[in-house]
Amino acid sequence: MSRAMEKYLREGLAGTAFCPGCGHGILLGAVLRAVDRIGVKKEDLLFVSGIGCAAWIPSPNIGTDTLHTLHGRAVAFATGAKLANPKLKTIVVSGDGDLTSIGGNHLIHAARRNVDLTVICADNQIYGMTGGQTASTTPVGAKSSTDPGGNIYRPFDLCKLVSAAGARYTARYPVTQPRKLIDAIEKALRQDGFTFVDAVSPCPTQFGRRNQMANLKKLYSTVESLCVTPAEAEAMDEETRLHHFAIGEFVA
C-alpha cells in the first residue's frame, strides 16, 4: 500500500487477514484509490460488508465508518443506512458468495429498486474463508471442497444478472488490471443509483491450490489469459464463454 493511501487506513492495524497472494489486498488498494479520486470527506463515507475473507477488505482496514454485518446481508444493511442518512456515500465491498449466493436476492432487488449504492464484489469464484466450497460463481469443472470431482453447474454472469435487474453502471475487471479496475470503481462511485463492479480476485489458498494453480505466477497469469472483451465473449460458444472473463463496462 503506497503511503498516499495511509490516510484511509485505520490506526493500529497489525496487518491484514489475507493469505499471501490473495487478490483482496490489491482490491483494497484499488478501492481506496478510487475513493481518493472522488474527494468525499471521510465522515461522509460508509463501507458495508457481510461475512467472508472479502468482508475484511473494508473492515477493520478502512478508517471510516464500517459495518461488518451478517452473511449475505450487506446490501440490506447498506440500504437501511442509506435510507437513514441519505448523504452517506455508501459502498458495499463483499464476496461473491456473500453477495450473490446467500445474498443474491438482496443484490438483485437493490438493483431493481435502484438503491443509491455502489457494490463491489470481490469475486474469487469460491467461498474462501469457510474452506473453499463451490459458489454461484465457480466455473464449470473447477474443483472445490464440495466438488472434488469438479463443479457441474454453470456460474452466474454477475454483470449480466445485475444489469438485467436494472443497475445504472456495471463493469468487470480483474485485480491484474488495477488501473482499469480503479477507473471502473471511480465511475461507479460517481454515478447516482445502483452501481456494481465485479472485481475478479484470485484466491491461491482455496481455489488455486485445488485447481493446479498453487503457484501464484500461474494463478495470476491464468486469470489474465482468460480475460476477453465482451464482444469476444459473445462470439464464443457458451461452453467456451463460461471459462472466460468478459471484462469491460456492460452498462455505462
Ligand X SMILES: Cc1ncc(C[n+]2csc(CCOP(=O)(O)OP(=O)(O)O)c2C)c(N)n1
Residue 124 lies near Mg ion (rule: CB under 5 A): yes
Q: Which is nearer to ligand X, 130 or 177 (by Cβ)?
A: 130
Smallest separation (angstroms) from ligand X to the CB of 66: 16
The Cα–Cα gap between 84 and 64 comes to: 17
The Cα–Cα gap between 78 and 89 comes to: 10
Q: Is the C-alpha dihedral spanning 71, 203, 21, 196 positive or negative?
A: negative
Q: Which is nearer to Mg ion, 129 or 188 (by Cβ)?
A: 129
Smallest separation (angstroms) from ligand X to the CB of 236: 26
Smallest separation (angstroms) from Mg ion to the CB of 7: 29
Q: Which of 65, 96, 198, 249 binds Mg ion (CB under 5 A)?
A: 96
Residue 136 lies near Mg ion (rule: CB under 5 A): no
Q: Which is nearer to ligand X, 133 or 177 (by Cβ)?
A: 133
| Three-point CA angle 5, 12, 124, nearest 5° | 60
Residue numbers of the site for ligand X (CB under 6 A)?
A: 51-54, 71, 95-98, 122, 124, 126-130, 135
Residue 107: contacted member of ligand X, Mg ion, none (CB under 5 to 8 Å, by partner type): none
The Cα–Cα gap between 225 and 236 comes to: 15
List the one residue out of 178, 173, 172, 176 whose CA is nearest residue 221: 176
Q: Which is nearer to ligand X, 96 or 183 (by Cβ)?
A: 96
Look at residue 46 and give its three-state secondary structure: strand
Q: Which is nearer to Mg ion, 50 or 128 (by Cβ)?
A: 128
Look at residue 5 and give its three-state secondary structure: helix
Q: Which of 23, 25, 95, 132 binds Mg ion (CB under 5 A)?
A: 95
The Cα–Cα gap between 136 and 134 comes to: 7
Residue 186: contacted member of ligand X, Mg ion, none (CB under 5 to 8 Å, by partner type): none
Residue nearest to ligand X (CB): 95
Residue 97 has phi, psi (to 5 degrees) of -65, -45
The DSSP element (H or E) to which 180 belongs, if any, is helix 178-190
Positions that interact with Mg ion (CB under 5 A): 95-97, 124, 128
